[in-house]
Amino acid sequence: MRRWLVVGWMIAGIILFAGKAATQETLPADGGAEIPAPRYVALTFDDGPRPGSTEQLLEGLRDRGARATFFLIGEQAQMYPELVQMIGAEGHQVGNHTWGHVCLQDLSTANALAEVERADAVLQKILGPGDYWVRPPYGLVDQALIQQLSVPVVKWSVDPRDWESRNTQAVVDAVMETVTDGSIVLLHDIYETSVQAAFQIMDLLEPQGYRFVTVEQLLRIKGIEPQAGTAYRKAGK
Ligand SMILES: [Zn+2]
């Protein structure tokens, strides 16, 4: 008698469990789809401005409501001031990539500072007074120089080596493999392959909840107050 009671309870349990599983399975697949939490990434573009590819990039950023950061070579900025104005007018962050794309580590501190200041003067002249953050060419800069600068230094956490492959798909794949919330991505708007890659990257990441912001916005969103004399590679973990 007892044994039958136990078996009976077991059968009841199985029916209840199966019923519950069936209910869960019958929920509509599209019902209650989760909205992904916002994630943020800063796309950065070095070595411009360059007529053609830079304008193409600006148009694609405008279409997507995206903001980016442009680290300009002083010489190029002086040659194409109207492009610099366009970048600034569209709400992107403009930064300093030295006057002549030199390796700052190879220079004396005085000469390295002069390279940075000469590019800064051109940006101040074209865009007006402001803090034009520095990205050292090749990412190479001594800590001593960083500490002498009156603005933050920006490195990167994602480098698809776009200048090397000049292959849109390879650049997209390399970024998609490593990008995460808070990443700073290094690209070059002087290559049309990289501009196309940036568009594909944004179109792949946007449905995942990613938003594209300037480096300064990225740091502030993540609760980081940007400091002069500090180098930033990413925001967050
Ligand atoms: Zn560069």
The CATH number of the domain holding residue 53 is 3.20.20.370
9 Cα: distance to centroid of ligand 1 (angstroms): 73
Does the residue 84 lie in any domain? yes
Dist CA 190 CA 205 (whole Å): 23
Q: What percent helix, strand, coil does the chain show, rounded to 5?
A: 50, 15, 35
139 Cα: distance to centroid of ligand 1 (angstroms): 8
Q: Tell the burial category of 56 from Cβ atoms under 10 Å away from its Cβ (0-12, 13-18, 19+).
A: middle
Counted domains in the chain: 1
List, for residues 183-195, the tens digit of each pLDDT value.
Answer: 999 999 999 999 9
Does the residue 237 lie in any domain? no
Does the residue 14 lie in any domain? no
Say whether pLDDT at 160 is over 80: yes
Q: What is the pLDDT of residue 35?
A: 73
Share of the chain above pLDDT 90, in %: 84
Say whether pLDDT at 38 is over 70: yes
Does the residue 191 lie in any domain? yes
47 Cα: distance to centroid of ligand 1 (angstroms): 5
> The tokens of 191 are what?
């290559």
Does the residue 33 lie in any domain? no
Say whether pLDDT at 151 is over 90: yes
Say whether pLDDT at 32 is over 60: no
Does the residue 12 lie in any domain? no
Known active-site residue 188: yes
Please compute the mean of the pLDDT values over residues 61-86 and round it to a whole number: 98
Q: What is the pLDDT of residue 236?
A: 76
Please compute the mean of the pLDDT values over residues 200-224 and round it to a whole number: 97
64 Cα: distance to centroid of ligand 1 (angstroms): 25
Dist CA 121 CA 102 (whole Å): 17
Q: What is the pLDDT of residue 98?
A: 98
Does the residue 29 lie in any domain? no
Report the candidate in 91, 53, 93 with the shortest Cα–Cα distance to residue 72: 93
Known active-site residue 131: no
Dist CA 26 CA 136 (whole Å): 57
Report the candidate in 177, 176, 182, 131 with the shortest Cα–Cα distance to residue 156: 182
Does the residue 219 lie in any domain? yes
Place of tokens 């070579």: 73
For residue 97, the enclosing domain spans: 39-232
Q: What is the pLDDT of residue 12?
A: 54
